[in-house]
Amino acid sequence: METRRKFSAEYKTKVVLESLKERLTVSELAQKYQIHPHQINTWKKEFKQKATVVFSSKSSGAPESAKEKDTLYKIIGQQKLEIDFLKKALS
């Protein structure tokens, strides 16, 4: 019996954000991350539906915990590395 894989929120966010950049097709992303294209579309749809929470008046959008803040800094750092790498590649 095959067990289901569980993905962290950070992993799902990474995949969805890369999908929103539209540099690769959903099929290419699915192959890259070894997940089904339908799963990416499902995560993307859920992400878009819940995105309005970030801008609601009840939420400041600020991280609620130090752990969440650290996670966000890691994501920002990773994206900065990717941007720097791509800039060098284009030079």
1-54 CATH choice from 1.10.3470, 3.90.660, 1.10.10, 1.20.272: 1.10.10
Per-residue pLDDT of 68-80, as tens digits, reads 888 898 999 999 9
CA distance 78 to 14: 10
The number of beta carbons lying within 10 Å of the beta carbon of residue 43 is 18
pLDDT at 91 over 90: no
* Nearest residue to 89 (alpha-carbon basis) of 19, 23, 81: 81
Enumerate residues 6+ apart whose C-beta is below 8 A from 8. none
Per-residue pLDDT of 36-69, as tens digits, reads 999 999 999 999 988 888 777 665 555 578 888 8
Q: Cβ(40)–Cβ(26) under 8 Å?
A: yes
| This prediction's pTM | 0.57
